[in-house]
Chains A and B, each alone.
Chain A
């Protein structure tokens, strides 16, 4: 099975080249073996031609094998900015033979070795650094400010108030709930979620998406967050070694969700700043046919709408084109709509579910992922949704949901909260208003520093163009700028390379983890780096 990790687009950015030495040494030894083995047979005559040739050949072969393995083990340095994992579990991962620092002869799986390695993606490295030195206004004012995680802290006060009002002495928060007792939540629950929560979530999703589309609770599978939702869908829609097309730049976490255990590859479809990083169907076609030429079976398209990290919203036209494309190629669409409620711009969010309503299309190819981590700021509660019209997928996902079930008391609490429609309405409106405020102010301040952002209408971040500040204009330059932000101004932002962006210099800056009042502080830190870049050029 051929595997490739190079992006299909020939104009791809400079990345660390894979060292050629490992492949050449292996080719030497194979050609060497081809030469020597028959020779051995000729030279040895004693002890019978058969034994005389077989034993030394065998010994020689095993020696070569051993040497080849040792050499590959030393010749595969991890590429620091390459986020596409160096090896997939099922391919020849000779590089991962020895577990780090362990002399045990008993191996763990190749997957474990791969996953256990420290992340080389700057997305995760950044999160790691912040956790070691987190900014705190009073305790650690010189710490690193977290702008690399799309956590929404702007409206936690509202939820906190609701919780205080409604959870007096109760586990679940519903005042007329007779089953306040443990009996109601302790026993085994359906793995795919409580019926009452599914109903509450379907209403919530309807509210979030502007009442323009209804969701049917029986088409839902609940999971502990959107992360397992994507993994489960990957297991259901594709086999090991298949691929999904994914527009770039994309959320770095997709690599984990889709590749690690399901073993599905992600083929990038590059979007450009000239299009404001909007999806181009021609690029999609190209990526698809190139994949086919390589013999890779494409099973679906994975999109995030509103998009992460850019924050733009796919227009109904693009959604229609996507559906046509999927129909034509007979593939699936996974639409990650977790930011649907976090809109602020003039563009209206339209769910792909709404498009399906209006057009005669095979609905069974569309699967939506949703969750409460972004729109309701409840990332810690782990509430995710798989929404599908495909009954086979639902049946399979239901069975798989046993590995990722939501804790029962949390389900009850959230169902109760979502049923408070007045509170939810107030929350959604206030949230949108506050995000817009912070976004507008932030983008304005950045532009005053000479940094332009892509046009965005949703999400918790801005996609900032810092290409003017990087030298050279390459991934290397981008990495250096990232390091400057980390060490000089002590802020963690996500570089475009971590999101597989084809143009160097773009950064995702999340602004919802800071308050409106903190903006000047952050801008000041960014200014420091901007000045230092300008002065050094």
Chain B
């Protein structure tokens, strides 16, 4: 990527370095403290933090896992280019997160599952749906979440610091992997709480400086529409012409709900399409749900969701507005339109709106605070990556590895979980060249599209699985496959032809690519739902005795459930017990022969990783009640009313904000 010619600023003064070093020390110490606080030797302890987290850490972790460096770069960049409608993604989440806490998590909790594919396996029986979900979730993680966050972190580091991209990203990934691997979910959630503070504090400081720079909110409203670059005539009229709409700020830049045909984010898409994506991301995705499952009780889950909702009000003000301010202050850089000039400024011809946030950090912040902003970006990047690492390792361990090796002991599962994190780190590092090769302006469009084309079937199946008892395995499976086919029909041609830009529109035929991706998400969701219901009603239903505590209407029932996968589980459990018996006999024989020869280093590593010598007795005890005691979803009335009324207040605030900016 090209470097900024004149304003190369490097972090080389004491203030910045102290701030960054202090940040890393804090993160690592919180991680280490969390290590000693929880038992990471059991599956429940490692992957679900022992189900002991309080509401504030649940809320902060939800926010920090969600907000990655992709938000800083992407929200600010899209805000600079198109106005505030992109903040609708954030404010939509306010409602979805309440859906999560009130409707979905009670069902997941009483079902007693750790991963989402596990839930589908219990709900529908059979193995193909859970396998499909695990694979597609891992695929979506690697290609949407990890790549977006790493790309954005790379953009920031390159623009703001000029460091070598491989060195910085590898260092970041290794530090993240370190406290992810050792600490498990508990360490993650506690560090997330710390990182939420850092993110919000730093972002507030930058927002304050930006508004001071342009002269207040009213100045933003008036100056944005005149943020036009000075060079807007084509340098090569043979190849292209630049129409005025390509470089003039949008007239509806300050409204959330835009025209349904001419808008870049049409309002039906914003209201319904974002909701569908939100249902996938917040209510059925492992990363987010795992944090809710780790909470102490249902009331803590709900309170945590409310905290997360309030925090989600902030990105509009902390990221979108500064992005727009950046365009006002630097229209020739952030708002560049001539391809040759853009290539000089940020290295890609498509556009340079992605440098909106890093540019502000480099130019407006005094030293010391620049280090703080770098810490903020690192906090966002590391918290998201760590969460994704942990959740993908959970998915891989509990769903894919247990299928490959049903006889795995708990200890083996935990080790495999950790090794998988290393594998994902390596895959992420190998992804960097791809990220660099893709034109930066288009990567975000690709990411949005991939989510909109692949996630609506999953959202539809989960919604129907939780609320409609009649839906059975055949319906869900064929719905997922049909939805996937439909999504690929749109996604592959669009990848092939490219999304194009304002100056060089794409060659994709209108029939395929003409529909906005949010509208397509709505269509895909409805078609999948119809397909699921159709096939389900044509085949036999699942009896109630298999569905107690797996659907919303039966979430309070106390009857004994006959799991659809109980045979499989029984076989696995007895096989595991036999394997452990044999191992214990062998181990006893060996220790008798050799005495205590375990070296100090072995014990140290074991203690560091939470696998102690008396693991086997722990294993026995844990294996006996390895089916987690059904978490109680009853709530004390006092707290229930408090939490419910708080949710109402939050929804009223959200509705007011939507109404104000509509």
- Chains A and B bind each other: no
| Chain A residues engaging chain B, CB cutoff 8 angstroms | none
